Amino acid sequence: MIFGISTSAMGTEKNPKKFEEFCIRAKEARFEEIEVILEGPIFHHSCMSNEVIKIIKEQIIGENLKLRFHAPFYSINLASFDIEFRKLAIKEIKNSLQLANKLGAYALIFHPGLCFLPCKLDKHQALKILNRSLSILLKLASEYDILLLIENRGGEFDIITEPKDLITLFKNQNYPSNLRINFDVVQAQLIMPPHEYYNEISDLVFSAHIRDSPRERDDLLPVGSGDVNWHQLIRSFKRKNFLGPFIMEVGNFKNALLSKEIFEKIMKSDD
């Protein structure tokens, strides 16, 4: 099994010193991957300081941990009818790919796009736009040699929410080898029981975000604190021999450790 941890677990204390401590603790806790969310003044690609880059090089790459990035996602809409904002979305992901390539990250997670009310009136056109944007990104990802991981989403304003639509997106791109799914358990739960969602897309899943939440919410709670039926979900993972990477995407380090412990226990049980 491969376990990783997201910088979401740094909580509110996001500064270079805390990041260094976070990386050291992650290594000590035997996480094998660190996922850096490229949002905010510390990690966004446009303002990542030399100090942070040094920490990534020394404490992640230098310590043989694997590095993956999560592209910016707020206001980032690959399916936008608005040309300027669509260009911005592509550029944000392109710059994230460049940074991934420069710093040695092997994968980049991104969200498929948003669907506000004009899109809801003409979703067909929005999906066409999304497909065009995705083609551009796949080409760039291949140039930078980075694996693209699209995340399943379940929010009111997300353009792709159903498993069948996610699969269609892959089909339209001829199932490219550098595109896989990062399965987000809580986002799946917004649509249907997560194990059912997973069963439909399992062949395309590369990794998973592990967190919990009450059914209608999008929280960053530890495993066992929300409504996810972990026994059912892990049974589905095991049936498909899916052993990770499982990235703990919770609100603090303590909850990441707790989640890993519970998750591992259920994985190892005979249930």
Partner 1 sequence: MRVGLSSILLYHHTNDQILRILRAYHINHIDVFCDAPYLPTLELSSISRVIKFAQDHNMSIGFKAPSFTDNLVSINPNVRSLSLRRILRLIKIASIVNAKYIVIRAGMIFYSEKMFPNITKENFKKAFSTIMEYAETYRVPILLENYPYVIDLFRNISHFTRLFSDFIESNYIGIAFNVSHLLSMSENFSNVSIELDSKVLQFIRLLYIGCLPSPWDYPKQCPIEHIVSLLEKTLMNVIPEYLVIGSTKTETLELFLANMKARGILT
- Residue 172, both tokens: 């339209």
Q: 232-266 burial by CB neighbour count: b if 16+ within 10 A, else e? A: ebbebbeeeebebbbbbbbbbbebbbbbbebbeeb
Is the Cβ–Cβ distance between 169 and 126 less than 8 Å? no
Size of the site for partner 1 (CB under 8 A): 30
- Residues of span 113-172 touching partner 1 by CB under 8 A: 114, 116-118, 120-122, 125
- 6, 80, 96, 207: which one contacts partner 1 (CB under 8 A)? 80
Residue choice 77, 133, 161, 187 for contact with partner 1 (CB under 8 A): 77
Applying CB under 8 A, does 44 fall inside the site for partner 1? yes
Q: Which stretch binds partner 1 (CB under 8 A): 21-29, 86-94, 133-141, 205-213?
A: 86-94
Window contacting partner 1 (CB under 8 A); options: 19-27, 33-41, 176-184, 240-248: 33-41
| Nearer to partner 1 among residue 11 and residue 224 (C-beta) | 11
Q: Least distance from C-beta 176 to partner 1, angstroms?
A: 27
Distance from the Cα of residue 125 to its chain's centroid: 26
| Pick 81 or 106: Cβ nearer partner 1 | 81
Residue 268 CB: number of other CB atoms within 10 A? 10
Pick from 55, 59, 78, 92: which binds partner 1 (CB under 8 A)? 92
Q: Which 3 state secondary structure label does DSSP give 60?
A: helix
Write the DSSP string, 79-144: T-S-HHHHHHHHHHHHHHHHHHHHHT--EEEE---B--HHHHHSHHHHHHHHHHHHHHHHHHHHHH
Stretch that binds partner 1, among 60-68, 75-83, 187-195, 202-210 (CB under 8 A): 75-83
Nearest approach in angstroms of CB 40 to partner 1 is 5
Kindly state whether residue 91 participates in binding partner 1, applying the rule CB under 8 A: yes
Token representation of residue 249: 């995407």
d(CA 232, CA 176) in angstroms, rounded, equals 30
Tokens of residue 51, six digits: 């100090």
**Residues of this chain that bind partner 1 (CB under 8 A):** 12, 14, 39-41, 44, 46-47, 72, 74-77, 80-85, 88, 91-92, 114, 116-118, 120-122, 125
